[in-house]
Amino acid sequence: MALSIWDVADIMSRWLIYMGVAAAIGGPFIAALVRAGANIQAIIRYIRLCLYLGISAAAVNFFIGVGAAAQTGFFGMFDGESLSRLWQGAPGDALVWRLFGFAAIAALFLLHLRRKPSARASNRKLFLLCYCSGILALSYSFTLLGNTAELGTGASVMMMLHIIASAWWLGALYPLLICYQLLNLPSLYKVMRFFGQLTMIMVPLLLLGGGILLSQVLASPEDLFTTTYGQIMLLKLTTVTTVFMLVVVHKHKYKHSLVPVLNQVQVLTLKKNSIISELFLADIILVITAVLSSILGPVVLP
């Protein structure tokens, strides 16, 4: 299948949107987790950059959709009729929810994360309000587009939970690497151990949710092997499973190394290597997801 320039631009902008959403959900979690023991400005700068990219990519992706609908070249992105039609439809609604979600997460840095400890303590409720509002808005935006929008409320809720779990996990990986420069050894060890325990819960739930959604999208199990969409989805599931197995293997290697400083150093080195590998595979997962959500789709919907 030949890709048009609109297809390529759509895939790239979706990939940037996914990166922005992941950083918006996973980044603040890590920042809030470690803020008492370190200067988190490096994490904040990373999240802020990804938010800018996410906001820009969301807007660009909308106009790419306008251009693809108009089919009149570059300036078709500003075609009044196509612009009005998409703005009043699901793409316009999704853009509004995404911009609201990114704005709510950005407000965290103005209202909480960048303030002094004494001010932060009085704004925890506001932090949770902005964070939860941003998470819900961003995850909800994905239910307005694609196949999930046609499958009812249950599938939409499952999609939101799937997005939140995957974005939390993928978005936390790079901030965790930054923590290696921010935290002392005992604090870093506690953070990594806590995150590893959560990962052992979240990734299986992520796989379960993805499997349930897939069963509702595909007409039959055979489509997983006989259609292009199914084969690409199978590649994505295999990649996620590989990451989970990587986490399990590394956890097994260092689960008995608890007290000695040397053992902690070895454990953290293993964990760092694991995170780097997970980051590489995470990029592959996001690219596959961008392809699946843009140019491919199930042959038959139930």
Q: What predicted TM-score, i.e. pTM, was given to this entire model?
A: 0.84
Question: What confidence tier does 299 reach under pLDDT thresholds 50, 70, 90?
Answer: very low
The rounded distance, in Å, linking the Cα atoms of 252 and 261 is 19
- Which token pair is 79? 């075609």
Q: How far is CA 194 from CA 33, 191, 201, 241, in A?
A: 10, 5, 11, 21
The rounded distance, in Å, linking the Cα atoms of 117 and 40 is 12
Q: How far is CA 98 from CA 69, 140, 252, in A?
A: 21, 9, 39
241 or 248, greater pLDDT: 241
DSSP readout, 25-72?
HHHHHHHHHHGGGS--HHHHHHHHHHHHHHHHHHHHHHHHHHHHHH-S
Q: How far, in whole angstroms, is CA 200 from its chain's centroid?
A: 17
CB 46 within 8 A of CB 179: no
Q: How far is CA 296 from CA 113, 227, 291, in A?
A: 40, 10, 7
Q: What is the pLDDT of residue 300?
A: 36
153 or 67, greater pLDDT: 67
The rounded distance, in Å, linking the Cα atoms of 118 and 130 is 19
The rounded distance, in Å, linking the Cα atoms of 193 and 202 is 14
Q: What is the pLDDT of residue 259?
A: 46
Question: What confidence tier does 113 reach under pLDDT thresholds 50, 70, 90?
Answer: low
Nearest to 10 by CA among 295, 302, 301: 295
CB 267 within 8 A of CB 254: yes
- Which token pair is 210? 């993805």
280 or 122, greater pLDDT: 280
Domains of the chain: 5-294 (1.20.1630)
Residues of the chain with pLDDT > 70, as a percent, come to 81
The rounded distance, in Å, linking the Cα atoms of 280 and 138 is 24
296 or 3, greater pLDDT: 3
Q: What is the pLDDT of residue 255?
A: 56
